[in-house]
Amino acid sequence: MAQYTVPKLENFTADLLDAAVRDLIAACEVESAAVTHDSYKDYRDRWLARKNGIITQINDLWLKASPREAKRDVGAAVNKVKSRAEELVDSVEQRLAGGASAAKLAAQSVDISLPGIRHAIGAEHPVIRTMNEIVRVFKNLGYSIGEGPEIETDYYNFESLNFPPGHPARDTQDTIFLAGQDKKQQRDRLLLRTHTSPVQIRTMEKQKPPLRIVIPGKVHRNDASDATHSPIFHQVEGLCVDHNITFCDLKGTLDHAMKALFGSSVKTRFYPSFFPFTEPSADVQISCIFCGGSGKQGNAPCRQCKQSGWIELLGCGMVDPNVYGFVNYDSTRVSGFAFGMGVERIAMMKYGIDDIQLLFHGDVRFLEQFA
């Protein structure tokens, strides 16, 4: 690129000064048209640099060298060239910036006619899905959801639920106690709750009958991990307290719930059992959903129900009057029932899972089956 050389003026007449200004501005305009990103800095410095820029040169060669009577006209000419040069430099900068933005936008442009990128959508974990299904059944029956802490006191987890001090469940072989509790009274010692039943007590302390709650949540027991046991699992428990609640109400409620979960053809049966916080107590079985209660799958025996045609699923019973004494309920005026079921067991039945550990390993290949 040819560079302009500032001429020395022999005299400072108006005609000669105007011609020199026109030549300078024309040179700046011609040079500006050819400026690129790489040459912009050189162009700007050549015209506007304070030390050796062309504007500085004409200030030295023209203005300082002019006689006193011509300095006003020469100063006006220098300012005219300076103003135009600054305008041209700014316009070149804007042109280059605009071109860069256009190129950047062009590079980033998206063809909206192309198919989009499909984002992976998560799905409920089979345990959470099953727990929500169970809760939904009882919500439709008018039950509200109860929640409580996973770290409980011995009082709420055992004593208030009619577990006497010598009960085997209090032993550390069955219950996970927090360390450093030896100096506390037994009822104040902290532990990881072994069931969601403490929420029943906490709710009854705050609310008078009638009461209908369903309690989903995580529980902990000191069990060794194997195909059917885990130290962490989930339960859904329920509690109903009102006037004139009978065992018939309990049977009707659970029969409806099992049919809602496993189909209208499922049958239920109750047989005696024992739980410290209910009296009488019962275990609930449902007719095998794999063999239809026949005990056989084709000509082969049904392994799921061990040929009995029944599968044990949950425990239940009428609330023991002793429990009402801990929450100031009048056991002569109210009655109620409670029930509880393991969520993992039901999930394993519904989805044909033969190892409970698969539910906790977090293997995406396994979980993707339920998406």
Q: Pick from 54, 43, 49, 55: which is nearest to 92 by CA? A: 43
DSSP per position, 300-363: EEPTTTTTSSEEEEEEEEEEPHHHHTTTT--TTT-EEEEEEEEHHHHHHHHHT---GGGGTS--
Q: What is the pLDDT of residue 165?
A: 80
Report the distance separating Cα 293 and Cα 285, nearest Å: 11
Contact 217/147 with Cβ under 8 angstroms? yes
Q: What 3-state DSSP class applies to 174?
A: coil
Residue 302 main-chain phi, psi, to 5 deg? -80, 120
Report the distance separating Cα 312 and Cα 7, nearest Å: 108
Q: Is the dihedral of CA 204, 206, 211, 214 positive or negative?
A: negative
Q: What is the pLDDT of residue 3?
A: 59
Contact 212/239 with Cβ under 8 angstroms? yes
Q: What is the pLDDT of residue 1?
A: 47
Q: What is the pLDDT of residue 105?
A: 58
Contact 76/20 with Cβ under 8 angstroms? no
Q: What is the pLDDT of residue 107?
A: 62
Q: What is the pLDDT of residue 207?
A: 94
pLDDT profile of the chain (371 residues), mean per 10: 65 77 81 81 80 79 76 81 84 76 62 77 87 96 95 94 82 84 90 95 95 96 88 96 96 96 94 93 93 87 89 95 94 96 92 89 85 74
Report the distance separating Cα 76 and Cα 63, nearest Å: 10
Q: What is the pLDDT of residue 84?
A: 84
| Number of other CB atoms surrounding residue 105 within 10 Å | 9
Question: Residue 66 corresponds to which tokens in the numbers above?
Answer: 């002019």
**215, containing H or E segment:** strand 211-220
Q: What is the pLDDT of residue 114?
A: 77
pTM of the model: 0.67
Report the distance separating Cα 192 and Cα 79, nearest Å: 85
Question: Residue 84 corresponds to which tokens in the numbers above?
Answer: 């135009």
Report the distance separating Cα 97 and Cα 84, nearest Å: 20
